[in-house]
Amino acid sequence: MASRSRNTATDVQRYVLLPKRGLHSEALREPLASPQIFSSMMAARLDLQGVAKAAAQPEAAVKIVHSSAQSGPKLVELSDVAANALKASNAGVRLVPLVRYEIARSPRWQVLRPAAVRSKAAAAAAPGLKIKVVDTVSGKPVRGAMVVAFTNFAGQEGAQGTSNAKGEVTLQFTGASKTLDLLLIYGPAGYWGLCERARKIRNGDSVGIAPIDLAVPDFLATVYGGHPAEAGNGVRVGVIDTGVDGKHPDLTVLGGAAFVADENDAGGWGPAKEQGEHGTHVAGIIASRGRQPAGKPGVAPGVALYSYRVFPNAGGGATNYDILRAIEQGVQDQCDLLNLSLGGASPDEAVHDAIKEAYDKGTLCIVAAGNDGRQPVSYPAAWTESIAVSAAGRQGTFPANSSEALDIAPPAAATDEMLFIAQFSNVGPEIDLTGPGVGIVSTLPGGGYGVMSGTSMACPAAAGAAAALLAAQPKVLKMKRNRDRSTAMLAVINAAAKSQGFPKDLEGLGMLP
């Protein structure tokens, strides 16, 4: 959705200002150090002086909020009148609404309808049903576990809460016990979750969740655990995400930048204050150099890893303007592959043009298909120039009673009845590949490991596998950075993909080795 603010005279909306074709043009050239002159020139070109004067802001009919380059894309604010005039003009530019994309981690089930509305007096007399979340190995309390107790799963009725330092969580139920349709616990860093059906809970019960054991292979390790430490050597991979913790002992980040216009691009490529764990987890799937017993390797530990943070520290989505700038920087840094574990519903031209330009300059964009529950592939994965990745899982690679059990969905693979495409994964004719995306253990900020699911995880699994394949093709990597190079890299990737026996709309060409 476009960003809108209020002006004393008229509504003002934010757009990405682009040339009629591509991302750069002399039509966008801004006089050095003078966005006011550019704004005045645009106003004159569009015959908007009268509109600007009426707003008592003659220099701001077209206000530049941020500029990526002298002749490059710009984040601008325009009144509705100015926007309509520009669209009707022959100014050699176009306006693309500012939209936001979200990370492609699988959504968590939540209570939408409380089981009962209780008065303050009733709540004071009986404060609810208290349970304790504990470590199944040590018996110690677990803090930060999200407990979701459904009395009616279909109607998403029940109660939920997060465990405190004592492992305790109070659920707003009446009575000393409650029979649940489903008890879900999403574990904090270092723990698996829990999924129990038809569970009766009593006040004072202890419920255990299992700690992650790095010695036990998850689905990612089952498929790619045999890759050598030098896998991906000579290939550059950029992660466009929430930032990466370069201080993690198992991650080496060679460079990057922050692209968040609302923060003046400050703060660097490290993890964002909100949702910062996502980008670090994604990066570890690709390039972790960890070794057991304290660590876990990624698919291609030998790659040169770059981090481009596009999600703000305050949380919320990443704008198309910031994402296109990150893609441009990744191309400039000569990344061979760019991983975008993000998506949205809008068929946005700005990011599409950036992906097309990256392809024309020898860089492939691998993109998460989205997690809307077998809905159409989200954008930018749906664009032809993207490599769209769905999420697969395998029973037996996560605890049978973990929260990942809810991700199992038919049909089973023809090659292995334990394989499935996750119920949350988007699917459709745009899918190119599938990858491990259910119950994936990877790096987290602060030096630890945790489990996540989503096409966000399948995407870097495919990116890492693609990097390992390309590392074995030095002639392709040495090609001039143009469209032919991208086509040759894509041919290597597509030729290696192996069908798992799912319908094509679910797996595309299949999974990379």
Give, to the nearest 10 degrees, the angle between helix 320-332 and helix 349-360.
10
Dihedral (Cα; 493, 494, 497, 500), 10-degree rounding: 150
Give, to the nearest 10 degrees, the angle between helix 455-471 and helix 276-287.
30
Residue 227 structure tokens: 């890759």
- Helix H or strand E encompassing 505: helix 504-507
Residue 3 structure tokens: 């960003």
484 is an active site residue:
no
C-alpha 449 chain-centroid distance: 18
353 is an active site residue:
no
Q: Which of 68, 106, 241, 288 is catalytic?
A: 241
Q: Which of 442, 453, 456, 486 is catalytic?
A: 456
Place of tokens 């296109």: 324
456: left (phi over 0), alpha (psi -120 to 50) or beta: alpha
Q: Which of 278, 386, 453, 486 is catalytic?
A: 278
Helix (H, G, I), strand (E, B) or coil at 145: coil
Residue 480 structure tokens: 């001039």
Contact (Cβ atoms closer than 8 angstroms) between residue 331 and residue 361: yes
- Helix H or strand E encompassing 171: strand 168-171
Residue 507 structure tokens: 């797996």
Nearest to 207 by CA among 217, 192, 224: 192
Helix (H, G, I), strand (E, B) or coil at 245: coil
241 is an active site residue:
yes
Q: CA-CA distance, 469 to 463, in Å (whole number)?
A: 10
Q: CA-CA distance, 183 to 299, in Å (whole number)?
A: 34
Contact (Cβ atoms closer than 8 angstroms) between residue 246 and residue 316: no
Nearest to 275 by CA among 342, 208, 327, 367: 342
252-286 burial by CB neighbour count: b if 16+ within 10 A, else e?
ebeebbbbbbbeeeebebbbbeebbbbbbbbbbbb
Helix (H, G, I), strand (E, B) or coil at 335: coil
Annotated catalytic residues are 241, 278, 456
